[in-house]
Structure 1
Amino acid sequence: MTAAEAADATRYFMPHLAIPYHWGRSVGTLADAQLFARTAACNAKVMTKGETLNSSDWRKDFSLLAHWKLDEETGSVAADSAGSNHGTLFGEPIWRPADGRIDGALELDGLDDYVDTPFVVNPGAGAFSVFAWVRGGAPGQVILSQQRGANWLMADASDGTLATELKGGRTAKPLKSSVDITDGQWHRVGLTWDGSNRTLYVDDVQVARDTQPALPAATDGLYIGAGSTLLPGTFWAGLIDDVRIHNRAVKP
């Protein structure tokens, strides 16, 4: 929700209630709306006339563009529980329904296993976040990349620390952390972009951050467990679980 949208919403907001509703007159100021939006930190969904929302979805995170739980037991499809961006398995990945960080996970061999997904998000269009649970891996191997684009989440080729090669401008450099993610333990890794800053997270702790010019536009699909051009050495050797993509900069 932008400040302008929040300001408009104050027309239907009574200060003594925490529920927006139609009151028929303007209430509040832009500053009030900005404060409310910041402190409430609630999810927003723009609905069209006549659209309905099931009451069971009231807690749903509408910023979630894609969510591959990777809990399948068989088959060659990684289902997207947030939408229809279902991934297709290539190589011979193995479903591990009892070995994930959250229920099941997908095991990849580091040679030619990966998941190919449709287009989900354009980095040049605005804020977004990607998170995943991983175990294993080796320096230079990639967790998530955009096809023919950049490696979004990876183990740095020099020391296995979390890094991203998603950058703005030709002179920009990759961002890397000092935290090794290839130590054989489960780690939740993440990258957020708020329109100005790249931030890396390991186990929900910020481990690197910098400021960048605008990111380049890209409208290709994604690879889970492989580099953007499927080069040898970029395939992940280990487990990947619970991959999520949001259309906002998520703070764990």
Structure 2
Amino acid sequence: MGIAKPNNPIFPNLDSTKPLKSGRICLSKFLDVGSISVHCVGITLPRDSRAFKGAVTMKRLLYLLTIVLTLTLFSYKGYTQPFVTDGLVSYWTFDRHNIDGNTVKDVWGENDAKRVGARKVQGRVNGALEFDGANDYVNLTNLGDFGSQLSTSTFEAWVKTSYKKNWTTLFKVRDADCATGWGIDLNGWAEFPRHVPLKPANLADFFVRIGPDFDEEINFTKDVIRLYLTNKIGPACRHLTSGRRFPISDGQWHHIVYIIGAPYVDEDGQEWRETAIFIDGQRKPLSRHRGSPITFIPFTEPVYLGAGNNRGEAEAFFNGIIDEVRIYNRPLTQDEVTQNFEIGLSIEATEKLPVVWGTLKTTLK
């Protein structure tokens, strides 16, 4: 790689007077900071920025070292770490540079989405999309063959909303003829009807009057998250819907992860498949079943984010902000959910890193 020169004490085996052969640079066991060995830097950089292009000079090598040290310090202080990529199918960041007009880039897969009205705002991690609760949504496409993999899958997003006045949908698709359905509703369940004296409507936040004398009332339950899952068995439609009360409509950011088909072994050694939801890293099991994973088929309709796609019709529009949406073709583990959750908590460092990286790239030009 060159001839040792006395004027090059930092890299004694490099000739700093001449450019080296063009190509890629890989740092292997380059430095060690405590328990962190830097082979791959602590974050995932853009695909086209992992290597230098053109002649490799001493100046560029020094800047490369600066980049590695900077990012290592962020990692060492616990600010950032790679998000989980094993099984990752699609990832929509909603950052401004990943939105071109109404096209929202899938930065990991091939499912670029279409934005319908949702506006760009500051999110949990850089940019996000805000939905008005009236007619905004994002068409995530039918996600290729992902629908057939629902039996072992994960949906993940950061969500911020304070809306409680009616049921809304975080995301959903419902295919024709009950072929396949998948989604999350907020405030989506109702209590059983109860007989009540007729009273002014303003005494309840919202309810429905039923009965011949309108003296029975259905009160919609607030703060309920309903996980929606359907498939078809012969001529019948099977609903695997479950839900619990989670007070997330408080105007704060919350990390929501919906997993299907996670393996679970009970105290008797019996094997189960579990459906669960994680709220801010806390696991909430909802249902379990025995036997093989349930069979699904690919979606025939596109999945909507910020609304439900009910056989081609948008409904139950979400009111709030959504950020960092990922889907996986396997259920994430508790440790993996925690890992992704903690990345979202590292917002200060996450915002600073693009600035550091951008400055260094500009200097290298």
Both proteins in one fold, TM over 0.5: yes
Residue 152 of structure 2 corresponds to residue 127 of structure 1: yes
TM-score, normalising length: structure 2: 0.48
Greater radius of gyration (CA): 2
Q: Matched residues in 2 for 1:125 and 1:93: separation?
A: 27
Q: Is the 8 A contact 2:230 2:238 kept in 1?
A: no
Q: 1:140, CA displacement in angstroms?
A: 1.5
Q: Which residue of 1 aligns with 2:55?
A: none
Would you tell me which structure has more helix in proportion to its own residues?
2
What is the aligned counterpart of 2:169 among 139, 142, 155? 142
Letter in 1 for 2:245: S
Q: 1:124, CA displacement in angstroms?
A: 5.2
Q: Deviation per CA, 1:187-212, whole angstroms, max 9, x where unpaired?
A: 11111112632111111211232124
Letter in 1 for 2:88: L
What is the aligned counterpart of 2:303 among 219, 222, 230? 222
- Give matches, 1:1-252, under 5 Å: 61-72=85-96, 75-90=101-116, 92-96=117-121, 99-120=122-143, 121-123=146-148, 126-136=151-161, 137-138=163-164, 139-148=166-175, 149-157=180-188, 158-167=221-230, 170=237, 172-194=239-261, 196-212=273-289, 214=294, 216-220=296-300, 221-229=302-310, 230-232=313-315, 234-251=316-333, 252=337
| Matched residue SS, 2:323 | strand
The 1:88–1:172 alpha-carbon spacing in structure 2 relative to 1, beyond 3 Å, is closer
Q: Matched residues in 1 for 2:254 and 2:105: separation?
A: 22
Letter in 2 for 1:76: N
Q: Matched residues in 1 for 2:139 and 2:287: separation?
A: 29
Q: 1:62, CA displacement in angstroms?
A: 3.8
Q: Matched residues in 2 for 1:180 and 1:151: separation?
A: 22
Letter in 1 for 2:247: D
| Matched residue SS, 1:65 | strand
Q: Matched residues in 2 for 1:145 and 1:202: separation?
A: 19
Q: Which residue of 1 aligns with 2:350?
A: none
| Matched residue SS, 2:139 | strand
Q: Is the 8 A contact 2:274 2:285 kept in 1?
A: no
Q: 1:171, CA displacement in angstroms?
A: 5.7
Q: Is the 8 A contact 1:140 1:160 kept in 2?
A: no
Q: Is the 8 A contact 2:160 2:253 kept in 1?
A: yes
**RMSD between superposed Cα atoms in Å:** 2.8
Q: Deviation per CA, 1:164-196, whole angstroms, max 9, x where unpaired?
A: 111467464521122122221111111111263
Q: 1:89, CA displacement in angstroms?
A: 1.1
Q: Matched residues in 2 for 1:125 and 1:87: separation?
A: 19
Structure 1: any 5+ residue segments left out of the alignment?
A: 1-52
Q: Deviation per CA, 1:197-239, whole angstroms, max 9, x where unpaired?
A: 211111121123212472543423211110121454x110110
The 1:171–1:63 alpha-carbon spacing in structure 2 relative to 1, beyond 3 Å, is closer
Q: Deviation per CA, 1:99-142, whole angstroms, max 9, x where unpaired?
A: 20111110011111001122221155641100001111444211
The 1:151–1:226 alpha-carbon spacing in structure 2 relative to 1, beyond 3 Å, is farther
Q: Is the 8 A contact 2:150 2:260 kept in 1?
A: no
Q: Number of residue pairs matched? A: 195
Letter in 1 for 2:224: T
Letter in 2 for 1:72: R
